[in-house]
Copies of this chain bind each other. A is one copy, B any other.
Amino acid sequence: MVPETPEPARRRHGAQLESALLTAAWDELVEVGYARLTMGSVAVRARTSEPVLYRRWANKDQLVLAAIEHHRKADPVAVPDTGTLRGDLLAHLTAVGETLSGFFGVVMAAACSGLLSDTGLTPSQIREQVMAAQRLPPVRTIYRRAHDRGELDLERVPAAVLAMPFDLVRHDLLMDMGPVRPARVRSIVDDLFLPLVRDHRTG
């Protein structure tokens, strides 16, 4: 008689297990949202049990925050160097649109629906904390390079112009919850951003 599914019963440990737990939590967050995510559902998805979660994170909020942080670090947004301001912007905005697809929506929803209970932070504080890392740093690099090439005068172009492409991509991510279409990225760069920069050319 054949034993029914011997089931190796391998146990994961340490970093490997922790990563699996956080990935399971993130997937659950994306699929059903913060409110309907339960410790039980995360445990089942990770093929483990609840105490394994509670040994690592004190409560649901801590787990969700860790999952968000883990996902952000796992998928860094590319900052390519194409040699031109237009190329850099197209590439980076596209990367942002693809990598962060879903990210903002999920974080916003979590931040506004109940994440504030235990942490004691206001929704704004959570948003600021979680999104801060994505907001400015990579942009600066691109504009700096363009400035050094003479394509852009950082002193004369208004800050609102520099922020606008990223504000719009963020807007689309929040509103449509999916990746930003390539035609839209091109429109942002060619119809909106570049004409405004040309007005403030050095000279």
Other-chain residue from B109, B158, B184 in contact with A108 (beta carbon distance below 8 A): B109
Contacts of A184 in B (CB 8 A): 160
User: Smallest CB–CB gap between A66 and chain B, Å?
Assistant: 19
Q: How many copies does the complex hold?
A: 2
Give Cα A106–Cα B196 distance, bound, in whole angstroms. 34
B123→A113 contact, CB < 8 A: no
A36 CB contact (under 8 Å) in B36, B117, B131, B196 = B117
| Minimum distance in angstroms from A167 CB to a CB of chain B | 5
Query: Closest chain B residue to A177 by CB distance?
Result: B124
Question: How many of chain A's residues touch chain B, expressed as a range?
Answer: 35 or more
A residues 89-142 with Cβ under 8 Å of B?
105-106, 108-110, 112-114, 116-117, 123-124, 127, 131
**Complex contact B175–A192 (CB within 8 A):** no
Cβ contacts A10-38/B at 8 Å (1 or 0 each): 00000000000000000000000111100
